[in-house]
Amino acid sequence: MAETKREIERKYEATGETPVPDLTKVPGVSEVADRGLVELDAVYYDTPDLRLAADGLTLRRRTGGSDAGWHAKFPVAAGVRDELRAPLTDTLPHELAELLRSRVRHGEVVPVVRLRSSRDVRHLLAADGTLLAELSVDTVRAERLPGGPETTWTEIEVELADDVDPVLLDAVGKRLRKADILPSASPSKLARALAETGAEPEAAPTPAKRGTAGAAVLAYAREQVDAIVALDPAVRRDLPDAVHQLRVACRRLRSAFKSYRQVLDRDVTDPVGDELKWLAGELGVARDQEVLDARLSARVEELPPDLTLGPVKARLRRRDAALAVNARRRALAALDSDRYLALLDTAEALLAAPPLRKAARRDARAVLARAVRKEHRRLGGRIDRALALTPGHERDLALHEARKAAKRARYAADAARPTLGKPAKRLAKRVKAVQSLLGEHQDAVVARAALREFGIMAHGVGESAFTWGLLYGREEAAADAAERELPRVWARASARGLRADLTR
């Protein structure tokens, strides 16, 4: 994997004659050391339609300076980006190409801008000589490629050193503003170059009239498709919770297609939903393993040492490591498949030319409220059926189906929140509590199955199965507790007036 650096910086407007104020007056800065002039030459790459720039990403091949090579930058927050670096080669390194796959797909990246910068570098140092930040005055010449217009400007860039409190940037910024040096209006050099050479990414057209049910549902669907695309590189980088979030985006989109089938034609959306189900399933192997690993490990840690008999922790670690590797391979294989890229292309095509039904032209409030109420009633039916069953396997299955219905009802309410406001938010919150309780029940059911396997394995090799049986009993008790709690939690989620408030 490419080297990763968290980049935290601020940019400011300047001219060639702008003097940098004395920054030793900034608390913590004892010295400003001049590090001389560096010449940088960077070619920025993107798809012909600037998909990377549209999402705030940059890809460049840069020579000069201490970090020459290929750099891909992914936005994290305002002024914060993760920069992934690979060695300087003639072609785009494979490890960076993979991270851009959800955006580039079967296309290619081409040179779009060349930036040549003369960088006057200064280091802001603490009293003990520790580097706090690097300030550079950059004189930039940008050229649109191939053979397009050019533009020039000067800017000041302040980048925080590793492990330094970002409050330092606030203090430096305050000092600069007192000297009439103001923050830059552009988030990056590339964004400024594209804007000033007339090559900014085009905004996607709106395919439905504002205020209609079609516009509301499509806006939500667009959020989920964008989330899938954006989370793809996070999964490849194995960032925390990335698999879970990508899986949730798949489920939210599929759920929207089902809940709002009066708005979008299901003959078109159902096949896309089937592919989303496939992708969520492939990712689910990794996610389910993460959840089970965390749960069982926590349960073992809760036990007193005298109740932990046999190599319990060692067996958990060996099993978890083996299953985690296989689960990750499966998730990455799905993301590397042509089937996945076809899904992304199909979803984008659906949003560009949505299969709108007659209800899509109606006022969003009435249509969305009706759909949310329908999903809420569906959830109630699933819960009633499950609670009517005798405790055991069939009830466990029915409660799992109720959990799925709770997710769908919650997602429908979430999709309606921009339109229906607080009533939808309140209903979603109450239903989420139901979903969480049913999730706890299902996690206990899954854990019991795994613990039974551990117990059988231990018995087969002559080890004590006591601890596995003890843990099994605790998971059984957790599932029973969830079942007893469900009527109370559902009563709050089905309180009188909760659904009626949606249209008030």
Look at residue 277 and tell me whether its pLDDT is greater than 70: yes
**pLDDT tier for residue 314 given thresholds of 50, 70 and 90:** confident
Residue 317, pLDDT score: 84
- Higher per-residue pLDDT: 310 or 123: 123
Which whole number is the average pLDDT over 3-30? 92
Look at residue 199 and tell me whether its pLDDT is greater than 80: no
Of the candidate ranges 76-80, 145-149, 330-334, 494-498, the one whose mean pLDDT is the lowest = 494-498
Look at residue 179 and tell me whether its pLDDT is greater than 70: yes
Look at residue 321 and tell me whether its pLDDT is greater than 80: no
Tell me the pLDDT tens digit for each residue of 409-441.
999 999 999 999 999 999 999 999 999 999 999
Residue 503, pLDDT score: 73
Residue 290, pLDDT score: 81
Look at residue 365 and tell me whether its pLDDT is greater than 80: yes
Residue 312, pLDDT score: 87
For all residues of the chain together, what is the average pLDDT? 93
Measure the CA–CA gap between 351 and 222, rounded to whole angstroms. 7
**pLDDT tier for residue 342 given thresholds of 50, 70 and 90:** very high
Start-to-end CA span in the chain (Å): 53
Quote the tokens at residue 277.
């189900």
- Least Cα distance to 49 among 348, 249, 335, 337 occurs for 348
Tell me the pLDDT tens digit for each residue of 134-171.
999 999 999 999 988 999 999 999 999 999 999 999 99
Which whole number is the average pLDDT over 226-234? 97
Tell me the pLDDT tens digit for each residue of 443-457.
999 999 999 998 998
Residue 428, pLDDT score: 96
Look at residue 210 and tell me whether its pLDDT is greater than 90: no
Residue 28, pLDDT score: 94
Residue 1, pLDDT score: 58
* H helix and E strand count, the chain: 14, 8
Measure the CA–CA gap between 475 and 441, rounded to whole angstroms. 9
- What percent of the chain clears pLDDT 90, i.e. is strictly above it? 82
Pairing mode, if any, of strands 80-86 and 69-77?
antiparallel
| 33 alpha carbon, distance to own chain's centre | 39
- What percent of the chain clears pLDDT 70, i.e. is strictly above it? 99
Cα dihedral 245, 251, 253, 257 in deg (nearest 10): -170
Instruction: Judge whether 290 and 244 are in contact, CB under 8 Å.
Output: yes
Instruction: Judge whether 396 and 447 are in contact, CB under 8 Å.
Output: no
- Least Cα distance to 171 among 163, 160, 156, 186 occurs for 160
- Least Cα distance to 469 among 482, 490, 455 occurs for 455
Please give the full DSSP string across 274-313, using - where no structure is assigned: HHHHHHHHHHHHHHHHHHHHHHHHHHHHHS-GGG--SSHH
- Least Cα distance to 319 among 458, 441, 464 occurs for 458
Contacts of 502 (CB under 8 A, 6+ apart): 369, 372, 373, 416, 420, 423, 424, 427
Tell me the pLDDT tens digit for each residue of 28-62.
999 999 999 999 999 999 999 999 999 999 999 99
Tell me the pLDDT tens digit for each residue of 462-490.
889 899 999 999 999 999 999 999 999 99
Instruction: Judge whether 256 and 276 are in contact, CB under 8 Å.
Output: no
Vertex 78 angle, CA 198 and 189, to 5°: 35
Q: Which long-range contacts (CB under 8 A, 24 or more apart) does 436-440 make?
A: 437/482, 437/485, 437/486, 437/489, 438/399, 438/400, 438/402, 438/403, 438/406, 438/482, 438/486, 439/403, 440/478, 440/482
